Amino acid sequence: IVVVIIGILAAIAIPKFANTKEKAYVASMKSDLRNLVTAEEAYFSDNNSTYGLITNLGTDYRASSGVTVLVAGITNTGWGATASHVSTARTCAITVGGTATNEGEPVCN
């Protein structure tokens, strides 16, 4: 009886734990994108010019462990970026300036 009860509890707990890990990965990607916005604004302010690539940001920005952030579409009026994590298939994106609909707000799928 004890083994059956432990098995039932494990069957309930394991999926909830996996869902919690997924939420943590998404939160990490969103946080990295928000930090990128801050670093890009600092770069723009310091250089008084267009936004910079991640490689130009130097030590002002570093993505979390396991997160890959790609900046694309840099123009004089804005930029966009995507973030992915090695442990999930979900991705997050953010746009700032230009024709952004949810400017500065990470959106995940």
Q: How many CB atoms lie within 10 A of CB 63?
A: 18
The pLDDT assigned to 74 comes to: 80
pTM above 0.85, yes or no: no
Count how many Cα atoms sit within 13 Å of the Cα of residue 55 in the half-sphere of its side chain.
Answer: 1
Residues 18, 20: Cα–Cα separation, whole Å: 5
pLDDT in tens, the chain (109 residues): 999 999 999 999 888 887 888 999 999 999 999 999 888 888 878 877 767 677 677 667 889 999 999 988 787 778 889 999 999 999 999 988 876 677 888 999 9
Cβ–Cβ under 8 Å, residues 83 and 63: yes
